Structure 1
Amino acid sequence: MKILIIGSEGFIGSHAKNFFAKSNEVWGADIVDKKFERYYQLHIEHSNFDFIFESQRFDVCINASGNGSVPISINKPVFDFELNVTNTIKILDAIRVHNPDCKFINMSSAAVYGNPSALPINETVELKPLSPYGWHKLYAEQLCREYYYLYQIQTINLRLFSVYGEHLKKQLFWDIYQKSLRSNEIELFGTGNETRDFIYIKDLLNAIQNIIDKGLFNGESLNVASGVETSIKTAAEIFCSAIDSNIKIVFNSIVKPGDPLNWRADISKISSFGFKQTTTIEEGLINTVKWLKGNK
């Protein structure tokens, strides 16, 4: 199988590149200037994807590119729209014109849900995003449905919950680690009682493999998560214990704009494809700390 990973040098993309290269022909594309074999360099401002699909025919395209930061989307909504919406339709249209048999996997986000009225969250609940990031991920999902229904391009949206692991240099655990280098007392936003559904990067990759093998690719959206609800306080305590048992965590009770309160996913759809969580939050966070300590 020939797989193209757009955003191949980012957190999810780089892991996906290594994972799928074990048994497939994998090509990467990103804005990073690297002289790799089977790699396309993209322009940082004026993205164009036609030349990629003109030069090769792919079986699967995984779009792991875009802005992944809620705060950036709030401060720079046009920038977020261009990366998460405009680039999505450019990729889809390049596939339509040059490689219509290519399956397209779009990395969406649980941010499309906002604050759900009940847990676990299934894919049919009303969508109420809290941030430009969430809205733009929803627009990208709608584009995938549009290209399936109007042009028969095989598309699928993966609503990723809180993905973490080695090589992630942003969000909660990266923030905690950076603060731990400066002080044994760490202040975090919120009360600590907010919850997330964390999924370790290796489990995400297994889920993507299951979806490639068994997904319908009919424009639908699937939750990709562990199905386990964990409080921010619990996750932070596990993480900090692996760094230094003397670290003290203080929550400031301030909720950041765009942040949801509680998440736990209904993962019955991807479970029907054979997905099972293999890494607990404890194991995944210990692995993450080992990587961080080894890459100071």
Structure 2
Amino acid sequence: MQKILVTGGAGFIGSHVVDALVEQGKSVLIADNLSTGKNAHVNPSENTYFFDVDITKRDRLEQIFRQHSDIDGVIHLAAQSKASPSLDAPEHDANINIHGTVNVLELTKAYEVKNFIYASSAAVYGDQQTLPIAEDVAVEPLSPYGVSKQAGEEYVKAYRRLYDIDARVLRFANVYGPRQSVDTEAGVITIFVEQLLNGEQPGIYGDGKQTRDFIYVTDVASAILHCLFEEPSEPEESSPVYNVGTGQETSVEELLRELCAVMDQRYRPLYMEKRPGDIEKSYLDNRKLRANYAWEPETSLADGLTATIAHAKRSDASYEKIDS
């Protein structure tokens, strides 16, 4: 049985990745300090092993590698995952996203783990004039968060070149779905759903014309597993970087209208001042990932929103398997 370490495996995206790994019959080591992850999200399979570990504490993290010398791959998802906090505390953001990533890479190298997936973000691109955004454009991050994720990418690519680690960088679009928390790494969809369920007026920063590429979380988990376990159809020596998105552009206003329609609520946004560091328009060209790994996003925005809303209405703290 293959054994995979998932950092951030009790978090929003990480818990879905763990579910997908368990479904494929893998043994999964979960490293998470529960700063944003939750015990309730941990898959209860007998093949999952949870470790309360902070990736910035290398000695503690190394205990996992020592206890499990047969790790076949690392999926590095643990991160400070929002732009706004990085503006207020860039040193905290850098400590987790840069120093923590180096710790994970150093242990991956030291214990000769050959397969590595790094979760990056569309935030590295900044505001791009040519859409959809392809992987080969010059990155221009607008926030310390985007800068720290870019720095992590460069470390991953350097370790790939230096130490023969089969590493890939995945740049996620705006991920949404069940288990995403308003209090932590929440995206705009989770925030809108919570506001509408509570009878509050949904707030839109700026004019609402800003666009994003909204991708359902199980489609992201599927992309990660494709890249970890499959051989690419084209060589990756120069650029092991992939966009993970739907390739479709949706404005924040359009999104809120769709949510209001699904939830049978009146459309009445509260417009607020634009936030610094917010990107105006962004959606990703996913053709490279689709071509090299035969991956396709399978969940439409309407179906994904319906599943997200249904989960939010239940709001049960116990583990719940999410159908992919």
Alignment RMSD (CA, Å): 2.0
For 2:18 and 2:203, the matched residues in 1 are separated by 35
Candidates 241, 254, 274, aligned match of 1:234: 254
Deviates most, 242-251 or 148-157: 242-251
Q: Where does the alignment leave 5 or more consecutive residues of structure 2 unmatched?
A: 317-324
Candidates 129, 142, 155, aligned match of 1:130: 142
Q: Does 1:62 align with 2:75?
A: yes
- Cα deviation, residue 40, structure 1: 1.9
Deviates most, 284-293 or 211-220: 211-220
2:55–2:100 Cα contact (<8 Å) kept: no
2:12–2:180 Cα contact (<8 Å) kept: yes
- Aligned pairs for 1:185-200 (under 5 A) are 185-200=201-216
Equivalent residue of 2:92, what SS?
helix
TM-score by length of 2: 0.85
- Aligned pairs for 1:1-296 (under 5 A) are 1-23=2-24, 24-32=26-34, 38-43=49-54, 46-48=57-59, 49-56=61-68, 57-98=70-111, 100-169=112-181, 170-212=186-228, 213-215=230-232, 220-252=240-272, 254-272=273-291, 273-295=293-315
Equivalent residue of 1:214, what SS?
coil
CA offsets 1:245-294 (integer angstroms, 9 cap, x no match):
23422333x32111111112111111111111211111101110111111
TM-score by length of 1: 0.93
- Cα deviation, residue 235, structure 1: 1.1
How many residue pairs end up in the alignment? 294
Q: Where does the alignment leave 5 or more consecutive residues of structure 1 unmatched?
A: none
For 1:217 and 1:52, the matched residues in 2 are separated by 30
Tell me the amino acid that sits aligned with residue 25 of structure 1. S
Tell me the amino acid that sits aligned with residue 290 of structure 2. S
CA offsets 1:57-107 (integer angstroms, 9 cap, x no match):
211110110111111111110110011110101010011111x23311010
CA offsets 1:138-165 (integer angstroms, 9 cap, x no match):
0000000111111222211100010000
